[in-house]
Amino acid sequence: METRTDGAVTIQVNHNAVLGSEADEIQQIRAGSLDGALFYGISNFQSIDPVFGVEELPFIFSGTEHARNAFDGEFGDEIASMLSEHQFEVLSFWENGFRHFTNNIRPIVEPADMEGIKFRSAEIPLRLKMFDLLDAVAIPMGFNELFTALQQGTVDGQENPLSTINSSKFYEVQDYLSLSGHIYNSAPLIISPQSLEKLSDEQQTILKELAEELKVEQRSKLDEQNQELETFLSEQGMEVNEINREAFLQEVQPLWETFAEENGEKVNELVELINKAE
């Protein structure tokens, strides 16, 4: 951005939660003390409107191409419009990716394989309900406690993207990696309308173009990384397997229905847009 605007616009990046949690950053953007942020999932905005939790419906995206088509198409346009109503401008939808199950009890192939396994879960209602539907035991726990809990057997398993499984070295304390892809999280790159308006029309165009260009690069790097990580995690001794996705999808349908009943017709509209993208 600095290069393309001849130094007129610079971007200061703060990472590793030095500005607080994503909930803190949402408040800072609304207050005008933060220009923008890269959020891991539109589900972070559920406190503003529960409908943003639609991304967390398990198995709603059949694969990477489907998810990207949805966020790059009508579904993404509608989500961007909804966020704009709350003073958040989406520059582009980057990617956090799919979450997968790991555990120390057995490979997970069919829904019945989940029974009785104790999974650490973030305290997100849809995820807790998902585990309950699949007859697993969800134990809400801070992420910073997870490695020790797995090591000591307080929990049997967890769910995260491959990059997190690798960076947290869960392969040292987990035997089985089941490529479930049960939840996909986008990574919306957001700026406040006030900050955007400070830029000239030309600078706004450059910023938006860059956000799209780098989205493609970020996704490409993630694809390369995931392919490498599947091999690496297997080499570290994890048994890697695929799941019966259709069987899992059938089991979690009541959760989709309940979410729509609780949050209104807008959920059904968004689910329809997601389905159209497949």
pLDDT at 238: 98
Between the alpha carbon of residue 260 and those of residues 78, 106, 242, the distances in Å are 17, 33, 29
For residue 17, the model assigns a pLDDT of: 84
pLDDT per position as a tens digit, 63-101? 999 999 999 999 999 999 999 999 999 999 999 999 999
Q: Which residue do the tokens 């509608």 mark?
A: 78
**218 assigned to some structural domain:** yes
| pTM for the full predicted model | 0.93
Question: Could you tell me if residue 209 is inside a domain?
Answer: yes
Structural domains counted in the chain: 1
Spans of the chain, pLDDT less than 50: none
**Residue 211: domain span:** 22-276
Answer whether residue 12 is part of any domain.
no
Q: Please tell me the predicted confidence (pLDDT) of residue 122.
A: 87
Residue 3 in any domain: the answer is: no
CATH number for position 211: 3.40.190.170
* pLDDT for position 124: 87
Give the per-residue pLDDT at 239.
Answer: 98
Q: Is residue 201 part of a domain?
A: yes
What pLDDT is recorded for position 16?
Answer: 82
In a domain, 6, yes or no: no
CB 56 within 8 A of CB 70: no
> Does residue 262 form part of some domain?
yes
Crossing angle of helices 245-263 and 265-276, rounded to 10°: 150
pLDDT at 13: 95
Which has the closest alpha carbon to 178: 102, 126, 87, 124? 102
